[in-house]
Amino acid sequence: MSTTTPALAAASADAGFERVQIDRRDLRPDDVRIDIRWAGICHSDIHMKRGEWGEALYPLTPGHEILGTVLEVGSDVSDHQVGDVVGVGCLVDSCGECAACQDGEEQYCAKGAVPTYGAEDYHGEITKGGYSGEVVVRDDFVVRIPETYAESDHAGVTPLLCAGITTYHPLKEAGVGPGTRVGVIGLGGLGHVGVKIASAMGADVTVFSRTDAKKEDGLAFGAKDYRATEDGSVLEELAGSFDLILNTVGSGIPLDSYLGLLDRGGVLANVGAPEDSLQVSAFSLIGNRRAIRGSMIGGLPETQEMLDFCGEHGITATVEVIDAGQVDDYYDKVVDGQVRYRAVIDTETLAG
């Protein structure tokens, strides 16, 4: 027994999205059924769908930035009630017992956390993501959307479920606060949220974008400075003047040049996930005792903390709301860097 719901699915890396009906399981005692209102398009959806991280499991229904309302709860659920506005991010299950899970870092679960879509879960089912009308998720993987947000904010809150936590974690981890000198490379979905969060933490933020096209926006998001990198001299001019550089670019960039921006002991936090290897000279790390650190999204407790932080500071992503029929076009637009700054699907358009 299960429920069907409208969704988008891609049959292969090259195929366009089609409107389909997918099954959602009946509730287990610890499950929550969510009526999805908004679904963000992350660049990871594009890497996955296009097979850039290896062959995906098709038909693929992506989407790990999900916001909606609770429709039904299982008999053991006490944290969520029918009618609550909730979110689901990149994970829908983990073992709950290993050291990482105990530390609230479920994304590094030793058994392997279950991604929201395109993976086999612990029950042998293939997960399907947010480009759909409803989803059923274990209660521990559902987060609360702060009540300080108005309903009209909800489309903009949706990208926080991935872009928000993925940038919040490395900023927090690095101890960013008033006066920390932070550079953000790439003003896309992740980057623009990172600029807003780092600025709210009190950091002095500089945007490194390819061109000047997004300058006005970058400064409006809270950055104190904005530099176009197409003129490579800017990286020499600002050498040694940052504590933290956050790289959000999803294709290979010359990391050595950006490492030079770091002051003594500085860290380049890498969250971008290009299909090709990153190239780094040892001398870029030895000089000034620099480090490169990677991180993958963030755990559930920190995701809730991030949402509460963003709620307090009135932070939402800047979004373009699109119809289900526009997703293929928007995949190309994201790759071309044309989206301002995250596309969010209006799920009411899924049924066609």
Positions in the binding site for ligand NAP (CB under 6 A): 42-44, 47, 162, 166, 186-191, 209-210, 214, 248-251, 253, 271-274, 296-297, 334, 337
Tell me whether residue 151 or residue 336 sits nearer to ligand NAP (CB atom). 336
- Residues 221-280 binding Zn ion (CB under 5 A) are none
60 Cβ contact list (under 8 Å, min separation 6): 9, 10, 48, 49, 117, 118
**DSSP assignment, residue 331?**
H
100 binds, among Zn ion, ligand NAP, none (CB under 5 to 8 A by kind): none
Place of tokens 């921006």: 261
State the CB neighbour count (10 A cutoff) for residue 220: 12
DSSP string covering 139-187? GGG-EEPPTTS-GGGHHHHGGGGTHHHHHHHHHHHTT--TT-EEEEE--
Q: Is 352 helix (H, G, I), strand (E, B) or coil?
A: coil
* Distance (Å, whole) CA 285 – CA 289: 6
Tell me whether residue 260 or residue 298 sits nearer to Zn ion (CB atom). 298
| Candidates 34-42, 194-202, 263-271, 280-288; binding stretch for Zn ion (CB under 5 A) | 34-42
180 binds, among ligand NAP, Zn ion, none (CB under 5 to 8 A by kind): none
How far apart are CB 186 and ligand NAP at their closest, in Å? 3
How far apart are CB 111 and Zn ion at their closest, in Å? 22
How far apart are CB 73 and ligand NAP at their closest, in Å? 29
Would you mind telling me the total number of residues written for the chain in this entry?
352
- Residues 134-193 binding Zn ion (CB under 5 A) are 162
How far apart are CB 26 and ligand NAP at their closest, in Å? 31
Question: Which positions lie near Zn ion, rule CB under 5 A?
Answer: 42, 44, 162
